[in-house]
């Protein structure tokens, strides 16, 4: 595929990106801008929102809001249409990871229900809220709805049961919404593998004070991946550009693009190793004074 900024593959296109202040969301924002798109970014963190405002050009509008709230998604879509005249793509990209918390290790008290709600709200409800808010504007332009899945969308071992179930649910959303919104709107997902980001976990599982970068991700992924390297968020964004473009994915809807460096090929080894290392991290998190759930 062409290098960023050379082809302007999204020239004249307008997109909404949720969770665009960090990780793969920020990489998508930067790449979409380089490819000529105008953007509205929905970001929960005021600090990250301000960083976007400080570094992005005028064709990026940043809204502080909660992607799990339908009204905040509606506001983002309205801002896109009011500011730029239309909406061509909506990228649903928010999420928690459960740090591989197993069934046995899930809490036995009220935190069980809270952990489920927190993770599914951000990983599933937010995506449905985005689709609900954007579908009419996307129908008007023959646009695209793009969701962020995971290697855990397709097979076990990419997280614990909460995360894996939530990412399988994303696949269900993609397929059902592709069915409901055809032929006007294409609905697809990108399913990346491991990468080094600031991805955190639900506070009810005591993971809010840590993020995925606390894990030895380079060792984890490069050791067990057939391709032998740890991707950066930027390594995945070409797929988002293709799915959001007017021409490059015209034949695709209801599809999930697996781009996980082949993790599924060695899924068993990855699962056992990742689970062991995630268990070490959970123990360290609980022992950290002031960490959520630690009593500090």
Structure tokens at 284: 């360290």
The CATH number of whichever domain residue 157 belongs to comes to 3.40.50.720
What is the pLDDT at residue 215?
Answer: 60
How much is the average pLDDT of 142-167? 91
Picking from 100, 109, 91, 105, the residue whose alpha carbon sits closest to that of residue 163 is 100
pLDDT digits (tens, 9 = 90+) for 30-58: 999 999 999 999 999 999 999 999 999 88
195 within domain boundaries: yes
1 within domain boundaries: no
Q: How far apart are CA 6 and CA 19, in angstroms?
A: 26
214 — pLDDT class (breaks 50, 70, 90): low
Query: What DSSP string describes 89-108?
Result: EEEE------TT--TTTS-S
CB 89 within 8 A of CB 144: yes
pLDDT digits (tens, 9 = 90+) for 279-296: 554 454 443 322 222 232
Over 60: is that where the pLDDT of 6 sits? no
Beta bridge partners of 270: none
9 within domain boundaries: no
Question: Looking at 163, 179, 240, 273, which residue is catalytic?
Answer: 163
292 within domain boundaries: no
Q: Is 11 helix (H, G, I), strand (E, B) or coil?
A: coil
What is the pLDDT at residue 285?
Answer: 43
Q: How far apart are CA 71 and CA 144, in angstroms?
A: 21
What is the pLDDT at residue 221?
Answer: 63
7 within domain boundaries: no
pTM: 0.85
Residue 84 phi, psi dihedral angles, 5° rounding: -115, -5
Q: Is 163 tagged catalytic?
A: yes
Domain count, the chain: 1
Q: How many CB atoms lie within 10 A of CB 293?
A: 17
22 within domain boundaries: yes
295 within domain boundaries: no
Q: CA 35, 38, 44, 49 torsion: positive or negative? A: positive
8 within domain boundaries: no
Residue 24 phi, psi dihedral angles, 5° rounding: -70, -30
What is the pLDDT at residue 158?
Answer: 80
Whole-number average pLDDT of the chain: 85
Q: How far apart are CA 42 and CA 19, in angstroms?
A: 6
Q: How far apart are CA 277 and CA 273, in angstroms?
A: 6
**Residue tagged 């070490």 (tokens):** 280
Structure tokens at 283: 């123990």
Q: How far apart are CA 193 and CA 231, in angstroms?
A: 8
pLDDT digits (tens, 9 = 90+) for 176-210: 999 999 999 999 999 998 767 667 889 999 755 55
Q: How far apart are CA 213 and CA 235, in angstroms?
A: 17
What is the extent of the structural domain holding 163?
14-286
How much is the average pLDDT of 145-169? 91
């Amino acid at each position: 595929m062409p290098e960023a900024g050379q082809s302007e593959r999204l020239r004249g296109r307008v997109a909404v990106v949720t969770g665009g202040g960090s990780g793969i969301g920020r990489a998508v924002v930067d790449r979409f801008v380089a490819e000529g798109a105008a953007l509205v970014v929905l970001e929960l963190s005021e600090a990250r929102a301000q960083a976007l405002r400080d570094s992005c050009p005028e064709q990026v509008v940043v809204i502080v809001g909660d992607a799990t709230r339908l009204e905040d998604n509606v506001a983002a879509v309205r801002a896109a249409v009011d500011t730029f005249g239309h909406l061509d793509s909506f990228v649903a990209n928010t999420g928690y990871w459960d740090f591989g918390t197993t069934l046995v290790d899930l809490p036995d008290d009220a935190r069980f229900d809270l952990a489920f709600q927190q993770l599914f709200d951000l990983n599933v409800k937010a995506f449905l809220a985005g689709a609900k808010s954007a579908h009419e504007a996307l129908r008007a332009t023959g646009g695209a709805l793009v969701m962020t899945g995971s290697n855990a969308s397709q097979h076990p071992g990419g997280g614990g049961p909460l995360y894996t179930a939530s990412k399988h649910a994303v696949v269900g959303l993609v397929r059902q919404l592709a069915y409901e919104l055809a032929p006007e709107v294409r609905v697809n997902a990108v399913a990346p593998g491991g990468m080094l980001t600031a991805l955190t976990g639900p506070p009810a599982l005591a993971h809010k004070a840590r993020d995925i970068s606390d894990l030895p991700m380079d060792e984890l992924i490069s050791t067990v991946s057939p391709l032998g390297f740890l991707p950066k968020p930027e390594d995945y964004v070409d797929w988002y550009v293709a799915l959001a473009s007017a021409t490059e994915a015209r034949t695709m809807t209801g599809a999930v693009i697996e781009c996980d460096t082949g993790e599924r090929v060695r899924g068993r080894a990855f699962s056992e190793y990742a689970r062991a290392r995630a268990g070490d991290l959970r123990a360290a998190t609980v022992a950290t004074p002031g960490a959520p759930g630690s009593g500090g």
